[in-house]
Every structure is written in structure tokens, then in C-alpha cells.
Amino acid sequence: MALRIAINGFGRIGRQLTRLLTQFPAENVKLAAVNTLETTATAAHLLKYDSCQGIFPAEISSHNDILQVDHHKISFFHEPDPALLPWQDENIDLIIECSGHFTDAERAAAHLAAGAKRVLITAAASNVDAIICLGVNENSYRPEEHKIISSSSCTTNCIAPALSAINRLWGVEQALATFIHSSTSAQHLLDHFDPDPRRARAAGLNLIPCPTSASHQIPAVIPTLRGRFDALAIRVPTPHIHLADLTICLRHTPDRADFTAALAEEAASTLQGIMRISNEPLVSIDLKGSKHSCVIDAEHVHFQDNMVKLLIWHANEFAYCCRIKDIIELIARQQY
């Protein structure tokens, strides 16, 4: 029987995930419902026309809170309180929590109270049963124990596969990351009040240093790096695609050629579809539509004694949603 899923929140991630689930459906997964505060007609329009990802090549229509994408019919609800949603009546197995408002397990548990069997939060989240990062720790998933799960953040998914492989192959003594991070809808078009004075400034006019959840999420998915990793982000006026500048102090130091070759071997085997080595002189727009969490720029692998610096690209909407879809399919395979 197919895993019946519902999406809560129809923003950047919710819509991109809907595109993936309907354009490349898995036999054992059915997108049954969406909950969003916007009208179904508006949701249909924004699903079809996207300023970053382009026009969705599907037939889309809406009528009486049913959105149809080609032959897929999806029920729409407009309820701000998750505890009041009809998940039991809809026989929902898994909620994909994309709203950004329920990133604590206690609040996300409202979906369980409404009758859903499990929740996957598509963000860094607190007090969850498990944090799953593909290419790092997906084998730790236990369906009988893990009812509220996080797919971590896009920035964590950007560097964790490479960092985990490097730690396993050569050992990581210390690591620091700076994320050149595209603007998000949580920022302000013009200067506007915000508790963080830097985030209060106009996103389209500034480079904005800010914290990143990766600083605590990387040690959560790679526990041996607790106390040995930190990170920050610089928000830049681009609509999507991130670039991570990752510097690592290695325990054992290979030469540059062996280092790159070993990572290429990892990308072709254990991290196939998750990590890629690029030998081309790419810029950010070239990563549009890239499904890999982690694209290492081979030209910019720099060694200084036991330190190595990497530049790693990540399509923070498309690739991140590909990993969410992978986790959904992992849950579907292991449902009981």
C-alpha cells in the first residue's frame, strides 16, 4: 500500500516538492493533501509559474479545493492549527512540515494529534526523534522509534556528505564553513524592523553576515565533530544556489591528486546521486536544477600543510527537495 503523505506549508519548499512528487512519482508514495493559508487558485498559479525554477510543464487546474496536476488529484485545506486538520479522515501516514512555523517537536506533534502517523520537518528542528541527512546517517532511521524527524537544513545537506567522507578517509581535526547563502523569503525587500539588526536590512542591496543552523546541525549528524566545527553565512542578493567555503584541518594529509581522486570515487559509489565532482568552471546559475546535495569544484581544492579548502555548490531548493523526496521514499520502504 502506498504511503499517503500531506504537505503543510506551500512556500518555496512545499511547491518544489510537489513538483518533484508529481513529475517523478514513486509507486509507493501518494501525495494526498496540502494545507496552506493561501487559496487553492493562488497555489495552483504559483506551482505553475516560478521565478526561480521556471514554468512547470504540467497541466494544472483547481476546483472546489482540489488541485489537479496532470492525473494527480490533491485535496487542499486552509487550517492554521495543525491539531484541527483532518489527517485521520484522510488516512495520512506522513506529514511533510514545510511551513517553517513548526520546527519544534512539541509543536509538530499537533499533526500526530490530528491523526497523522509521522512528521518530517524540512528544516533544522529541535527535540526531534531523529535528524536524517542522506549520504551521512540514513541507516540510523528506526520506524518504530522515530515519529518526528528532521531532514536538517539545506546548508547542512550541502557540506555534510563531503565532510563525513573526508572524516572517514583522513580524519577531521577542525573545520570551519562560510556559506555564501542566497536570499530567502524570510528577509526584507527594504529595511524593516527585525530582532536581528543585520537581517533588518534590505536583502537585495546588501551582503548580510548571519548565523547558520549548520553550526549545530553538522555535529548532530556527525557526532565526532562536536566541539570541532563552526560556521556562519553571508546572505547575498541572489534568488537561489548556495556556495560553501569549507576549510578543514586534516588528521592525515594526502596529496591533492589522491584527495580529489578519492572523493571522486566516493561520488561514484557510496555517495552516487548525492555528491559530484565538477571539473568545469561553473558559476551559480549553472547549478539550477542540480539534484546533487554537494557539488565540489575540483579547480578550487587548495592545500596548505594539513589544511584543505573546498568550494562546494548546492541548489538549496531543488537539490534539497530531492533529498526530502529520498527520505520520503526511505520511510515508505520501511513502513510497517
Choosing from 154, 294, 321, 322, the catalytic residue is: 154
Helix 12-23 to helix 318-334 angle, to the nearest 10 degrees? Answer: 60
Q: Reduce the secondary structure of 188-228 to three states and give it as a string.
A: ECCCCCCCCCCCCCEHHHCCEEECCCHHHHHHHHCHHHCCC
Q: CA–CA separation, 271 vs 114, rounded Å?
A: 37
48 exposure class (CB count in 10 Å sphere: 0-12, 13-18, 19+): middle
Cell reading at 261 = 581522486
Cell reading at 18 = 510537489
Asked whether the beta carbons of 100 and 11 are under 8 A apart, the reply is: yes
User: What sign for the dihedral angle of Cα 234, 237, 242, 246?
Assistant: negative
| Residues contacting 283, CB < 8 A, separation 6+ | none
- H or E, element range at 67: strand 66-69
Q: CA–CA separation, 291 vs 210, rounded Å?
A: 26
79 exposure class (CB count in 10 Å sphere: 0-12, 13-18, 19+): middle
Is 98 a residue of the active site? no
Q: 329: which DSSP letter?
A: H
Residues marked active site are found at 154
